[in-house]
Amino acid sequence: MSIRSQRLESLRWTVGVDVPAVAGMGVDEICTPALVVDLTAFEANVRAMKGFAAAHGMALRAHAKTHKSADIALIQMVEGGARGVCCQKVSEAEALVAGGVRDVLVSNQVVDARRVDRLAALAQRARVAVCVDDADAIGPLSAAAARHRVMLEVLVEIDVGNGRCGVAPGAPAVELARRVANAPALRFVGLQAYQGAAQHIYGHDARRAAIAASVALVRETVAAITETGMRCPVVSGGGTGTWPFEAESGVYTELQCGSYIFMDADYRRVREADGRGLPAFAHSLFVLTSVMSRARPGHAVCDAGLKVLSVDSGLPTVFDRDDVTYAVASDEHGTLVDAEDRLRLNDRLWLVPGHCDPTCNLHDWYVAVRDGVVEALWPVTARGKAW
Amino acid sequence: MSIRSQRLESLRWTVGVDVPAVAGMGVDEICTPALVVDLTAFEANVRAMKGFAAAHGMALRAHAKTHKSADIALIQMVEGGARGVCCQKVSEAEALVAGGVRDVLVSNQVVDARRVDRLAALAQRARVAVCVDDADAIGPLSAAAARHRVMLEVLVEIDVGNGRCGVAPGAPAVELARRVANAPALRFVGLQAYQGAAQHIYGHDARRAAIAASVALVRETVAAITETGMRCPVVSGGGTGTWPFEAESGVYTELQCGSYIFMDADYRRVREADGRGLPAFAHSLFVLTSVMSRARPGHAVCDAGLKVLSVDSGLPTVFDRDDVTYAVASDEHGTLVDAEDRLRLNDRLWLVPGHCDPTCNLHDWYVAVRDGVVEALWPVTARGKAW
């Protein structure tokens, strides 16, 4: 057992922390299955998005729902051009603020009384904004903010074709903005206008058309709001699949991309079906797995299944190998087709998850590697923070 | 805020534990989304399986991969007729043993050197058994057991139609059993013969036929092993979808059912398609969720998405309501069809997960309720223990 493996075991016995790796280890020593970030690719993605946003004059509010990591959020803010982050849950925002992040938009509705109270309390420690799509949400938010002696910034969420949350664009949004602006402890700052359903449309023109439709709705709504004399300084939206279209729109001011730091198998398919236009990001996120059985000819079984990989957007792909395919995910196993029977017990494979966000939420640690050596461990700070 | 809600907040500030509920709360006060166990239904399921196993003269080794909870494992052993539990990972076994469970089968291959060592170390503190499907796994397991001065019990895993791990039945299994028996610190105790793929076959006759095929392979293999003079006292397998067939087989000795304690939407469909024969278990596991948006006519959005519900086996169903359907799962949202617009903000729904095992693995706590009141909180002891 290497010195670093001993150090890992000693961490378990002395402080009760069972980590998959320690700094300085070679990647061959990482305990599998593990969530691994290739720092070279990750940093290139962070830099690329910083450059793209700056080139388009767009603010970047990186979506921390992707990674749920205070370490990564701070890298995005300090080195990646992000003015702050967004996330989807109050408990997630609390974990990020506790980790040092000082500017968080909860890009979601917060209507439960206890959650509303905790959100307002959090605004004592960081710049906090939240979305509203229902007039009934306004009174409790304003009352909680007053109780905690803070002003909460509010974006009115409009449905620009996503079909999930969001008030209808135009007059209903204007009316809601007016009510927010009139609430004593709330400040209306603009629109949340994220078209999530468009992110994964295959085909450049179809994706562009979906966002063109969103942009028209946003433009109409911003005009209607400003006609009433209110200001609407922020229009926030855009994801890794569509942000160039929002950036060119002239009405969006802020991008909410999240997956760009990691990429995943589904975004890879979106990009490959695009043909043109979608900037390239590199795969930086992997589930490192080991072969545990090869009893069946033409097949092997690895130690990464549904409990370390989310398959909602398809199975993982095997990175950098054409001879092996991940064919079936069961709870704790991945069944691989290995037609030429090349795999041996304990061989390692680098899997690209089908969908990065819910995959990261399954893990406690990111193992950050560079050039085959572990450089850092980052906790998944807000893992399981679904409240 | 109720006294119990204050107690919950005070736990967060004083010991840093953010729990979704405390004992004594009404179910309406539980923070959502939360994983909730209805104790009345759960205990009825535990008792029913105890009775079924006893009536068939079968040992019960409950599968703890379903729940990953030492509390539930101990209930199954102390009150539910289980001789022990099985699980799929060494780190899972460690968490269960640390929680007081003293008889664990890792019903899986363990071939990584560090895992093998930790498995043998664990056998100093509990009865530990493991599976083998490859001759190359035997030497390291025996050496580790000798190093830790323990005997490890070993089941040879055979592929009875599942198509995942497992050596071929018949001669290859006999040869592997012989090698295990000859290893200095291993004890061959029998066969692991789980037909996972058959559990979810719709239709009584098709499922019965799949297990009949497995039983024939097991019978042939047991006969071949005993012909060599070796004993084969344990044949372990069977799950919540098929166990009556293994129990009637005359060759299986031990059942490995896991999901019976909870049920899920997919097992419900298996049961409804069965028509006869499959004993009834009640839904005892729910994801409790709240409505957070109703901006779109005919629809509502709840706070339970992919990060609290695994959708690999289909979407959740809404318990006890015919007027609302869970239609789309996104990362943090569930989009509901509410054709009559009955739902209001903060209304609560009880969702039955599509697949219980990976859903439980997303949560940190079970909220155990009886007659509408929280009775206990159980940690998901081995959550994320995928190593």
Q: For B159-217, how does the pLDDT look when each residue is reduced to its tens digit (9 = 90+)? A: 999 999 999 999 999 999 999 999 999 999 999 999 999 999 999 999 999 999 999 99
CA end-to-end span of chain B: 41
Q: Which backbone phi and psi does A377 adopt, to 5 degrees?
A: -115, 130
- DSSP, res A323: S
Q: Which of A310, A18, A36 is nearest to B92 (CA)?
A: A18
Comparing CA positions, the residue from A132, A146, A129 lying closest to residue A93 is: A129
As a three-state string, the secondary structure of B83-100 is EEEEECCHHHHHHHHHCC
Indicate if the pLDDT at residue B139 is higher than 80. yes
Mean pLDDT, range B140-167, rounded to an integer: 97
Partnered with residue B235 across adjacent β-strands are: B191
pLDDT of A46 above 80: yes
Nearest to A309 by CA among A266, A371, A258, A257: A266
Q: Is A236 left (phi over 0), alpha (psi -120 to 50) or beta?
A: beta
List the single residue in B91, B134, B301 with the smallest CB-CB distance to A293: B134
CB spacing of A133 vs B293 below 8 angstroms: yes
Could you write out the DSSP letters of every residue in A278-293?
Answer: SPP----EEEEEEEEE
What angle is formed at CA A344 by the lines to CA A342 and CA A345, rounded to 5 degrees? Answer: 160
Q: Which tokens in the block code for residue A112?
A: 């439960």
Cα A122 from chain centroid?
21
Question: What is the rounded average pLDDT of the residues A363-375?
Answer: 98
> CA angle, A151 as apex, A148 and A156 as ends, to 5°?
125
User: For chain A, how are helix, strand and coil distributed in percent, rounded to 5?
Assistant: 35, 25, 40
**B344: Cβ–Cβ under 8 A, 6 or more apart, which residues?**
B291, B294
Q: A166–B307: do the CB atoms touch at under 8 Å?
A: no
pLDDT at B365: 97
Q: For chain B, list the domains and their CATH numbers.
A: 3-39+280-379 (2.40.37.20), 40-265 (3.20.20.10)
Q: Residue B26 forms beta bridges with which residues?
A: B373
**Exposure class string for B299-323: b at 16+ Cβ within 10 A, else e:** bbbbbbbbbbbbbbbebbbbeeeee
One-letter identity of residue B289: T
| Whether residue B220 has pLDDT greater than 90 | yes
| The predicted structure's pLDDT at residue A274 | 86
Q: Which two tokens stand for residue B46?
A: 């535990």
Does pLDDT of A279 surpass 80? no
Q: What is the ipTM of this complex?
A: 0.96
Q: Which two tokens stand for residue B166?
A: 């497992």
CB contact at 8 A, B256 and B86: yes
Distance from B320 to chain A by nearest Cα, in Å? 23
pLDDT at A15: 77
How far is residue A179's CA from residue A167's CA, in Å, rounded to a whole number? 13
User: What's the mean pLDDT when you consider all of chain B?
Assistant: 96
> In angstroms, what CA-CA distances link A317 with A40, A64, B148, B180?
20, 24, 39, 36
Chain A hits for B20, CB-CB cut-off 8 Å, are 387
Minimal CA–CA distance to B97: which of B115, B84, B79, B81? Answer: B84
**Tokens in use for B275?**
């028509």
Residue A1: pLDDT above 90? no
Q: d(Cα A38, Cα A45) in Å, to the nearest integer?
A: 11
Distance from CA of A133 to the nearest CA of B (A): 6
- pLDDT at position B138: 98
* pLDDT for the residue numbered B331: 97
- Alpha carbons A190 and A179: distance in angstroms, whole number: 13
Tokens of A142: 């304003």
**pLDDT > 70: what percent of chain A?**
99
pLDDT at residue B278 greater than cutoff 80: no
Contacts of B377 (CB under 8 A, 6+ apart): B19, B20, B21, B22, B23, B365, B366, B367, B368
Rounded to an integer, the average pLDDT of A276-305 is 93
Phi, psi of A110 (to 5 degrees): -125, 105
How far apart are alpha carbons B158 and B164 in whole angstroms?
10
With 90 as the cut, is the pLDDT of residue A11 above it? no
- Percentage of residues in chain B with pLDDT exceeding 70? 99
Q: What's the whole-number mean pLDDT along residues A90-111?
A: 97
Helix ranges restricted to H, chain B? 3-15, 39-55, 70-78, 90-98, 113-122, 138-147, 171-182, 204-227, 243-247, 265-274, 356-360
- Interchain proximity B312–A335, CB inside 8 Å: no
Q: Which of B141, B312, B360, B381 to mutate to test the interface with A (most CBs of A within 10 A)?
A: B312
Q: What average pLDDT does the segment A268-275 reach? A: 88
Phi, psi of A256 (to 5 degrees): -115, 35
Q: Mean per-residue pLDDT for B380-385?
A: 97
pLDDT digits (tens, 9 = 90+) for A144-188: 999 999 999 999 999 999 999 999 999 999 999 999 999 999 999
Residues of chain A with C-beta less than 8 angstroms from the C-beta of B384: 307, 362-364, 383
Q: State mean pLDDT over A126-132.
A: 98
Instruction: Write down how long chain B is.
Output: 387
Contact B348, B304 (CB under 8 A): no
Question: Nearest-5° angle of CA A55, CA A274, CA A359?
Answer: 85
Q: Is residue B15's pLDDT more than 80? A: no
pLDDT tens, position by position, B78-136: 999 999 999 999 999 999 999 999 999 999 999 999 999 999 999 999 999 999 999 99
Tokens of B370: 């009886």
Question: CB burial class (10 A; 0-12, 13-18, 19+) of residue B116?
Answer: buried
Q: How many CA atoms lie within 13 A of B82 on its CB side?
A: 32
Query: pLDDT grade, residue A7 (50/70/90)?
Result: confident
Token pair of A28 as six digits? 């061959």
Cis, peptide link before residue B33, omega less than 30° from 0: yes
Q: In this structure, are residues B76 and B68 in contact, taking their beta carbons and an 8 Å threshold?
A: no
Residue A20: closest C-alpha in chain B: B387
The one-character DSSP state at B136 is G
Note the pLDDT tens digit of each residue in A189-243: 999 999 999 999 999 999 999 999 999 999 999 999 999 999 999 999 999 999 9
Q: How far apart are CA A120 and CA A186, in angstroms?
A: 11
Q: What is the mean pLDDT of residues A275-300?
A: 92
**Chain B neighbors of A290, CB-CB under 8 A:** 111-112
What average pLDDT does range A242-257 have in this prediction? 97
pLDDT tens-digit series, residues B240-277: 999 999 999 999 999 999 999 999 999 989 988 987 76
* Residue A105's pLDDT band (cuts 50, 70, 90): very high
CB–CB contact B167 A310 (8 Å) = no
CB pairs under 8 A between A and B: 179
Residue among A89, A293, A361 minimizing CB distance to B109: A293
For residues B97 and B122, give the distance between their C-alpha atoms in angstroms, rounded to a whole number: 8
Whether residue B301 and residue A361 make contact (CB cut-off 8 A), yes or no, is: no
Q: Kindly tell me if the per-residue pLDDT of B279 is higher than 80.
A: no
Rounded to a whole number of angstroms, the distance from the CA of A386 to the nearest CA of chain B is: 7
Q: β-pairing, A34-38 with B234-237? A: unpaired
What integer pLDDT is reported at residue A207 of this predicted model?
94
**What is the structure's pLDDT at B202?**
92
Question: What's the gap in Å between the CA of A126 and the closest CA on chain B?
Answer: 18
pLDDT over threshold 80, residue A369 = yes
To 5 degrees, how large is the angle CA A155–CA A158–CA A164? 115
The span from the CA of A294 to the CA of A296, in Å, is: 6
Contacts of B356 in chain A (CB under 8 A): none
CA dihedral over B117, B122, B127, B130, signed as positive or negative: negative
Would you state the structure tokens that stand for residue A358, as one six-digit string? Answer: 């819910």
Q: Which residues of A102-124 are buried (b: 16+ CB within 10 A; e: fewer)?
A: ebbbbbbbbbbebbbbbbbbbbe
B361/A362 Cβ within 8 A: yes
B42/A312 Cα distance (integer angstroms): 29
Question: Quick one: pLDDT at residue A10?
Answer: 84
Nearest to B134 among A163, A166, A294 (CB): A294
Residue A258 with chain B: CB contacts under 8 Å:
none
- A253 torsion bin: left (phi>0), alpha (psi -120 to 50), beta (else): alpha
Q: How far apart are CA B225 and CA B230, in angstroms?
A: 6
* Residue of A28, A6, A4, A19 lying closest to A288 (CA atoms): A28
pLDDT in tens, A298-307: 999 999 999 9
Q: Which residue has the tokens 């022990």?
A: B84
